[in-house]
Amino acid sequence: MRENSSKKNNKPQVVERVTKKHYSLLTFVLLICIVELGISAFNNINKNIHYSSKIKGLENRRNEEAAKNEQLKSQIKNFNSEAILESITRNNLKMAGENEILVIIHKPKENIDENAEEEKDLKKKINDFLAPKVNLFITKDRQ
């Protein structure tokens, strides 16, 4: 009889241990879920900040482009006048109008000659440096 009474007392203890294990497992799972929730919230906040800064940058660029567009539209209206078209074509095609003198200044040839001399000196230095090595190659091949 005593054995039966001890078995009856053991059952509640076993059930109590099992429920404690279940609660521990559930607590662990809940903690994992909370950590995942925190990580995803942090990532979403970072994305939100990143995208809002991108949006501000794009809005600034759009405003700059709109201002540039307005400036180009006003320039198109100004190009319709004959005097402006004439001045642009004279400047680009190097033409003179009535009662005007056209002066074209060429670059002096001294700069070109200096560059040519520097280039010749460089080629000579390269040849002087490589000539012994090339001769050594040629002599090895012949032997």
Residues 19, 59: one domain?
Answer: yes
Are residues 82 and 16 part of one domain?
Answer: yes
Q: Are residues 44 and 86 in the same domain?
A: yes
CA atoms of 131 and 143, how far apart (whole Å)? 19
* pLDDT on residue 142: 47
Q: How many CB atoms lie within 10 A of CB 35?
A: 10
Asked if residue 71 and residue 131 are part of one domain, the reply reads: no
Taken in order 110, 115, 121, 123, is the CA torsion positive or negative?
A: negative
**3-state SS, residue 99:** coil
Weakest-pLDDT range from 38-42, 44-48, 131-135 = 131-135
pLDDT in tens, 47-88: 999 999 999 999 999 999 999 999 988 877 776 677 777 777
Q: pLDDT grade, residue 117 (50/70/90)?
A: confident
Q: Give the E-state strand segments of the chain in sequence order.
A: none
Residues 80 and 15 in one domain: yes
d(CA 116, CA 112): 6
User: Same domain, yes or no, for 26 and 84?
Assistant: yes
Same domain, 133 and 87: no
Q: Which domain holds residue 118?
A: 110-143
